[in-house]
Amino acid sequence: MATTSPQSHFTRTPTCSVITDDDGRTTLSGNRLVTTAPTGQRTEQLRTDDEARTAYRTHFGIALDVLPK
């Protein structure tokens, strides 16, 4: 499935991802924050818009007034 397919989560949910200094990755997809490191993976469900905006700012350096839809 391509990233442009209507069935792809990339076309249905805002997704932001960055490689971290420890050769891991941090990804925010909708309200799910996934942190992957050589030692394992951790998934966190963000319950509020404030938590999501804080995650965008903390992990990606993006300050938002309103979350993307």
pLDDT digit string, tens, across residues 3-25: 666 666 555 678 999 999 988 99
Please tell me whether residue 31 adopts helix, strand or coil conformation.
coil
> Average pLDDT in the 42-68 region?
94
pLDDT of residue 4: 64
What predicted TM-score, i.e. pTM, was given to this entire model? 0.80
